[in-house]
């Protein structure tokens, strides 16, 4: 399989007053095109830092991140923003939907920003909401939806631009066990049907095990990579 994303000896620290807090202390692995990878570790192990770097939301102190052939350290801010817009979809723990917009308008928004005409953007947003099982909820605002439904809207929004990779930071972290499992199964279905690459960060072993491969993170280092865990 081809490699879609490379993480090479990545280090990242945060400055807290006069101290440097190490978050990643030299992390290397590849993400293969089309795989469903989970990054698993306890709180504080560096998962969010790693995912943000992989998505070009921040830059490493040392090491390299190569996304679909582009070394993100060599891109200026505009080129990096373009890469994020075109190739990457993000899903977060707290959904980050705009409260005043309907589900349909939330999903449509990335296309509006990209200048897609409204007739087409609405059509695509409707199609995407149907794909995540929300055809009956298109005109609801986030406050009128359950947590699981809000995350489905966020997933539809992440996928609307047809990104090559979807990055999820604890996408089930704010949901009950059953709903969280449904959301991870939805992401797996989309991964299989649309052949998009998925990387999901979680501290929940049950969610991590839904993946094809698990990267175990501990104290900013890789503690092991588990291939095709149980049931796969
Ligand atoms: N903005 C920040 N400023 C200072 N320290 C941070 C910041 N973000 C994360 N950290 C620290 O970096 C380490 C890794 O954090 P994080 O990547 O959020 O881990 P996780 O997502 O696994 O909980 C932790 O020790 C955390 O306190
Ligand atoms: Mg985190």
Per-residue pLDDT tens for 178-205? 889 989 999 999 999 988 999 999 999 9
Percent of residues, the chain, with pLDDT higher than 70: 98
Q: 44: Cβ below 6 Å to ligand 1?
A: yes
Q: How far is the CA of 51 from the centre of ligand 2 (A)?
A: 9
Q: How far is the CA of 214 from the centre of ligand 1 (A)?
A: 20
Residue nearest to atom 26 of ligand 1 (CA): 44
Computed from CA positions of residues 10, 15, 18, 21, in that sequence, does the dihedral angle turn out positive or negative? negative
Q: 47: Cβ below 6 Å to ligand 1?
A: yes
Per-residue pLDDT tens over the stretch 38-92: 999 999 999 999 999 999 999 999 999 999 999 999 999 999 999 998 899 999 9
Q: How far is the CA of 180 from the centre of ligand 1 (A)?
A: 23
**Dihedral pair phi/psi, residue 151, rounded to 5°:** -70, -35
User: Which residues have a Cβ under 8 Å from the Cβ of 17 and sit 6 or more positions away?
Assistant: none
The pLDDT mean for the chain works out to 93
Which pLDDT does position 230 carry in this prediction? Answer: 59
Computed from CA positions of residues 13, 16, 17, 19, in that sequence, does the dihedral angle turn out positive or negative? negative
Q: 23: Cβ below 6 Å to ligand 1?
A: yes
| Residue 225 host element (H or E) | strand 221-227
Q: Which two tokens stand for residue 134?
A: 């929300």
Which is it for strands 213-218 and 36-40: parallel, antiparallel or unpaired? parallel
Which pLDDT does position 15 carry in this prediction? Answer: 93
Residue 89 and residue 134: Cα distance in Å, rounded?
19
Which pLDDT does position 94 carry in this prediction? Answer: 84
Domains contained in the chain, CATH given: 3-227 (3.40.50.300)
**Dihedral pair phi/psi, residue 18, rounded to 5°:** -95, 5
What SS3 state is found at 75?
coil
Pocket test for ligand 1, best of 10, 19, 44 (most atoms within 8 A of CB): 44
**Dihedral pair phi/psi, residue 58, rounded to 5°:** -150, 170
Segment 138-166 shows an average pLDDT of 94
CB 175 within 8 A of CB 183: yes
Residue nearest to atom 17 of ligand 1 (CA): 46
What pTM was computed for the model? 0.93
User: How many H helices and E strands in the chain?
Assistant: 7, 10
**Strand order through the sheet with 221-227:** 88-92, 165-169, 197-202, 36-40, 213-218, 221-227
Pocket test for ligand 1, best of 11, 21, 57 (most atoms within 8 A of CB): 21
Computed from CA positions of residues 95, 100, 106, 110, in that sequence, does the dihedral angle turn out positive or negative? negative
CB 183 within 8 A of CB 151: yes
Pocket test for ligand 1, best of 42, 49, 220 (most atoms within 8 A of CB): 49
Residue nearest to atom 13 of ligand 1 (CA): 23
């Amino acid at each position: 399989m081809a490699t879609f994303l490379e993480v090479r000896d990545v280090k990242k620290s945060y400055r807290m007053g006069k101290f440097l807090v190490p978050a990643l202390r030299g992390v290397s692995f590849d993400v293969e095109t089309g795989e469903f990878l989970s990054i698993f570790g306890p709180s504080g192990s560096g998962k969010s830092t790693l995912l943000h770097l992989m998505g070009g939301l921040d830059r490493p102190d040392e090491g390299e991140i190569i996304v679909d052939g582009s070394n993100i350290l060599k891109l200026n801010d505009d080129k990096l923003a373009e890469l994020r817009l075109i190739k990457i979809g993000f899903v977060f723990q707290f959904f980050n939907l705009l409260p005043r917009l309907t589900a349909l308008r939330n999903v449509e928004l990335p296309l509006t920003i990209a200048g897609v005409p409204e007739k087409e953007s609405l059509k695509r947003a409707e199609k995407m909401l149907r794909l995540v099982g929300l055809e009956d909820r298109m005109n609801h605002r986030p406050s009128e939806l359950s947590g699981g439904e809000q995350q489905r809207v966020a997933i539809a929004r992440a996928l609307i631009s047809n990104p090559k990779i979807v990055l999820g930071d604890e996408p089930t972290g704010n949901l009950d066990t059953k709903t969280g499992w449904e959301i991870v199964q939805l992401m797996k279905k989309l991964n299989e049907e649309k052949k998009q690459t998925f990387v999901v960060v979680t501290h929940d072993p049950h969610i991590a095990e839904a993946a094809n491969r698990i990267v175990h993170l501990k104290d900013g280092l890789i503690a092991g990579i588990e291939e095709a865990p149980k049931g796969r």
